[in-house]
Structure 1
Amino acid sequence: MRERVLDLVFLLGVLFKGLDGLVELVGGVVLLFVTPAKLQHAADRATSGELAEDPHDLIANLIVHGAAHLQHGSIVFAAVYLLVHGVVKVAIVIALLVGSRRIYPWAMAALGAFLIFQLYELVTHPSIGVAILTVFDAVIIWLTWREWRRGRELRTTWRGTVAWVFRRPVAD
């Protein structure tokens, strides 16, 4: 039972990383074409209703405050960071879906590099979001290592886990 739950967490983590990578790609492309003034305007529009209802709303105030302090250089850095991060995540997920076990060490190395950067960010600019993301990435790295060590491809794990979730026998 524990093994099946870990398999399910691994598959959900891979799915989340793929979706996260797509969102980062879209966000990076958008940031390449958006000026700080446009971002400030979008932040104001997106949060105006919430701030009218609750002027002390933490999330809305963080968004407005963050947008107000953006500069062109920081937007370009964020865009490039999101694009690189997104491309790497999407490439890892695609390679895992194609069925190559050789991608596991590369996936762990790439996620490990992101993890090191996140640890640096956590030390220099602590935040709950980065802490949660760091723990999540560490768990995904461990689950990827576990999967690689077991010698299974993603599709094998997928088939067995889906069968377990829906309580069907696995056809080999």
Structure 2
Amino acid sequence: MALIETLKSRSGNWAGVNRMIQKLMSGINFFCLSIGMLAMLLLPLHVTVDVIFREVLGTPILGTIEIASYYYMIAIFALPLAFVQEKDEHLVADVLESIMSKKFVGLTVSVGYLCTVIFVYLLFQQTALGAWTATGNGEHVELVFTNLYTWPSRWIIAIGFGAMFLQALLQIVRDVLQVVNRPKATSGA
């Protein structure tokens, strides 16, 4: 009980800090989304230019398939994750929501955020470890005349999951602050 009272007395400051951090996180999320969208635009452009070079000049652009697979597609998948999390647009099962009480729906959403934080943290941790190892090993694929370093694409995945983890964590903090700051129901006399 003392913990809740302490949180209430300090939560006004936390709410302002949370808003400031969320604004910063929104900027990061939008930047990552923008890079993912840029990759989505560059992918078909790159492939089209490759086809034109192959058909007109008789020589394709070296590494088109590898660049598309290791960079464009990874960025398209991983970088927008935090933006989608921020907008609460990930897949949800809300079949039972209409028959649940509002309080229970709020609880299930919070538990969902907690599960998301745990799961995405584990994904972030493993992809960051994999990226670290790949960087140390200089991971690459061999092209005809050169190598294409693929270890940077491992970091793209880690950045995407890391940003999603931070966003989901902020959403849990937001929910906790809302519960802590909720006025107590007064009993009618």
TM-score (norm 1): 0.44
Q: Which protein shows a greater Rg? A: 2
